[in-house]
Structure 1
Amino acid sequence: MSLNSALNAAVSGLKAQSAALAAVSENIANASTTAYKTREISFQSLVTNKNIASSTNQVGGVVTYKTSQAMTEQGSIEITGVTENIAIEGQGFFVVTDDVSNQPSGYTYTRNGNFSTNEDGLLINDENMILLGQATDENGVVTAANKNDLNSLEPIDVNSIGGTAEETTTVNFDMNLPADANIADTFTTAFELFDELGVSHTIEVVWTKTAVNTWTADYSDPYQTADGATSPASATIDVDTGTAGVQSQLTYVFNGDGSLNTINGVAAAAFDIDVTGFATSLNPTGANDLTFSMNMGTQNNYDGLTQFSSDEDTPDISDLTIEQDGVRYGQLSGVEIDDEGIVTAVFDNGVRNAIYQIPIATFSNPQGLTNIQGTVYDENERAGNLILGLPGEGNAGTIQPTALEQSTTDTSTEFNKMIISQQAYSSAAQVLSTVDEMFDSLLSAVR
């Protein structure tokens, strides 16, 4: 090996070990970075001269290096308890973008699931990458025709989901009327229901004993029951029991054993009530008419209204339980993500609706991805085919909710690498110094 070859080899060694130290430094700095993949340096000797014709090979070599990341190495999963945090256990990446318009060229990929909702309602991670998903109906069924197409993705925007309410459709009535009440005695009950806008209305029922085992019930809506919501005098209640005409009064007849017999002369069963004339501040033109089914029990049974003696000095209604399925108007209070990648909007009235599903992108050669920043990667030919699928399908990993994937960096291993690189760097520097002295000796001999 000539002095020039020795000089080149020493310089290449310095460069290679400098790169190794840089990788160690980066790894240690990212030991706490979510989903960071350890950067590795691999070295290779490059032969620069070999005299094949000679029986003695004269070889001068330099060292080359290349960097890579352990893309398939799984980081440990740590539970955070944050509902917007998600981790992938297994292969795959979240699809993200830094462009809210989500142009096709803007698709990038990350395993960093440290997401939160920003002021615009978008789910972004700590690298300001916007999470993409597929819109669903309220039951979590993806609405896109082709779920495997990147064009089916859109930024997950929780602000696109307004407040929600659920109109009352069914009211279940369990109650005992006092058999020992006097004729003409009256009792009042009331129950709450909600119109399509989620505005609360109170229906008042006045019970009057008109004969032995016979009662009438008058239904009305006399109250202003919510801020800005009025039930005006023009509001009417129509009770449809299957008989001709509409009315707001029903007649209940009981058997001698206390079970319910008939309602308006018809075998006791569920019947519909129509309430018209609602007006609310949420809708200047008023909510639509409300129709709900009133279930007060079945004929000759004790599964709704009953009539037994109260055994009290002052008889009164007892065992009153009224349940209805409507829900008041509610504002969005947060989002949750489950292990199927379903993003659920949670409202302060208890309603929960699915709004998006998060797919997972996998590549045939994830080692070929291009690292463009931090934990964000771009696809290229070396990465192979991209497959977009649901969590747990095919080679796609599963989603761990309320959790984050930790860095794959092992600091003890990195410090060991640092010592080795430092020693190798010092040795290469010593070679460089020795070659310099040999050059000086050669020049002195020539002079």
Structure 2
Amino acid sequence: MSIGGALNSAVSGLKAQSTAMAIISDNLSNSETTGYKALSTSFSNLVTQSSLSSSYSSGGVRATPRQSVANQGLIESTSSTTDMAISGNGLFVVTDSVDSNTLYYTRNGSFDLDSEGYLTSNGYYLQGWALDQDGSVVGGNANSSASLTAIDLSAFNSSAAATTTTSIQANLPSTAEDGDTFTSAMEIYDSLGTAHTVSMTWTKTSTSEWTLDFSDPTLSSDDSVTSGTISGGPISVTFTDGVLASVSPDPAEITVSGWTTGASDSTITMDLGTVGATDGLTQYAPTDSDNIDVQIEDISQDGLKYGTLNGVEVQDDGTVVASYDNGDEVAVYKIPLATFTNYNGLSLNTDGMYQATADSGTYTLTEAGTGSAGTITGSALEASTVDTAEEFSKMIVSQQAYSAASQIITTCGDMYDDLMSAVR
């Protein structure tokens, strides 16, 4: 009985060490897998009798895998703006299809835009909270799968915006003669996002006084086509020792009506600078005395042409910011993190995806950087937590234990041979 028990115990040892070697092999194979959490082997003894006596029946050993989902991997920078890494607690929430209600959780933040504009990783769709125009979560930060939606960037395009304010920084030549005129141009947009060019005429009326007048706009794409009618102006400006002293009327505004594009009428405020400061118009002698002209330093305006998606960026609080080719940037989604009471109770699936179980408890959706949730780093990935040196050390120990168990089996075989010889 004791020899048989020893044999069974040795067999269980072989099986346990085989399990340990399989786990080590998995860890080493995934040493470069993004977001992979190294597994370890937990050994426990098997007992066939409740108390020790003069006889002993060996039980053996059992090996079970042990997760370390909460272990932090090294954060490594990448060149992709759709990559993201979690520093601290939490997992990304994904689904296996756009309309699926089955939630999976992962630390693998290697997401890319697919052909339909969704952020995906290995066929799983990243979930987030939709944001309104003010950047607030639609309906609030609800702790429910119903509040989540697959992040779809194809659904967003930047809307056009009419110019409402134009700021001009320029120096008017103090050496110009009374009655001298100079021209320059500025670009504005109508409410449909069409670009137009407005010619500005600067006229020196006295030693420290100028007027600014405007011509009707023309299409920027074809300056031979008049595209609207300007009213307002001329605007009078005065200077004291080269510094802006007054603007009249104040505020200085122009109106464009009858846009040939069909856009709504535009009212544009002309920001010519702060009285008593040099942040707008000034009147100084030109640096080149032979080139007397209005020196335009900068003309900026707040209008936008219609824009298409140009890129995406993920901020530390999980906000997904879409950027467009017209320079517009819009916050469109916020990525929440799912936190659990017992991370190691999650069930591990292929592609580094986890599912909730009774042991893990239910998820809590939390905004990154708040509560127990970690932060999200854009253009970065979390490395595997596998320590190859440690795994090789475990491999040596496991191999020696396996050899020892196999030696027991050989010895038990010899003992059975001796017993059979004695019987014969």
TM-score (norm 1): 0.83
Instruction: Show the counterpart of 2:258.
Output: 277
- The aligned runs of 1:418-433 (5 Å cut-off) are 418-433=395-410
By how many angstroms is 1:145 displaced?
2.7
Gaps of 5+ in 1: 240-248, 281-285
What SS does the corresponding residue of 1:34 show, helix, strand or coil?
A: coil
Aligned to 1:83: 81
Secondary structure class of the residue paired with 2:220 = coil
Q: How do residues 189-268 of structure 1 correspond to structure 2 at under 5 angstroms?
A: 189-207=184-202, 217-226=212-221, 232-233=225-226, 235-239=228-232, 249-250=233-234, 252=236, 254=238, 267-268=248-249
The residue that corresponds to 1:289 in the other structure is: 265
8 Å contact from structure 1 (residues 208, 216) kept in 2 = yes
Question: Which letter does structure 2 place at the counterpart of 1:377?
Answer: Y
Long gaps (5+) in structure 2: none
Deviation at 1:352, TM superposition (A): 1.7
Q: Is the 8 A contact 1:139 1:353 kept in 2?
A: no
Match among 382, 385, 390 for residue 359 of structure 2: 382
Q: 1:20 to 1:181 in 2, by over 3 A?
A: closer
Q: Give 1:329 deviation, angstroms.
A: 3.5
* Pairing 1:23–2:4 present: no
Report deviation, 1:304: 5.3
- Taking the aligned partners of 1:33 and 1:392, their CA distance within structure 2 comes to 25
Q: CA deviation at 1:32?
A: 1.0
Change (3 A) 1:27 1:180: closer
Task: State the partner residue of 1:156.
Answer: 151
Which AA in structure 2 matches 1:67?
P
2:377 aligns with 400
> Between the two proteins, what is the percent identity of the paired residues?
44
Q: Distance in 2 between matches of 1:74 and 1:38?
A: 11
1:172 is aligned to 167
CA distance in 2, matches of 1:178, 1:365: 73
Q: Which residue of 1 aligns with 2:44?
A: 44
Work out whether residues 209 and 215 of structure 1, in 8 Å CA contact, stay in contact via their aligned partners in 2.
yes
Alpha-carbon shift at residue 370 of structure 1 (Å): 0.6
1:411 shift after superposition: 1.0
Distance in 2, matches of 1:412 and 1:86, equals 27
- Quote the residue 1:327 is aligned against: 304
Within the alignment, does 1:70 sit opposite 2:65 as a pair?
no
Q: Alpha carbons of 1:309 and 1:16: their partners in 2 closer, same or farther (altered >3 Å)?
A: closer
Instruction: Rate the CA distance shift 1:140–1:211 in 2: closer, same or farther, 3 A.
Output: closer
SS at 1:381 equivalent: coil
What are the equivalent positions in structure 2 for 1:329-368 lying under 5 Å apart? 329-368=306-345
The separation in 2 between residues aligned to 1:341 and 1:99, in whole angstroms, is: 22
Matched, 1:115 2:111: yes
- Aligned-pair Cα RMSD in Å: 3.2
Tell me, in whole angstroms, the C-alpha distance in 2 between the residues paired with 1:376 and 1:42.
Answer: 22
Residue 415 of structure 1 is aligned with which of 377, 392, 414? 392
Cα deviation for residue 56 of structure 1 reads 1.5
Is 1:94 the counterpart of 2:87? The answer is no
Offset at residue 254 of structure 1 (A): 4.9
Counterpart of 1:355, as a letter, is: V
Q: CA deviation at 1:297?
A: 5.5
Number of the residue aligned with 2:4: 4
CA contact (8 A) 1:262 1:268 kept: no
The DSSP-based 3-state class of the residue aligned with 1:202 is strand
Q: What's the CA shift for 1:28?
A: 0.6
Partners of 1:24 and 1:199 in 2: how far apart? 63
Counterpart code for 2:117: G
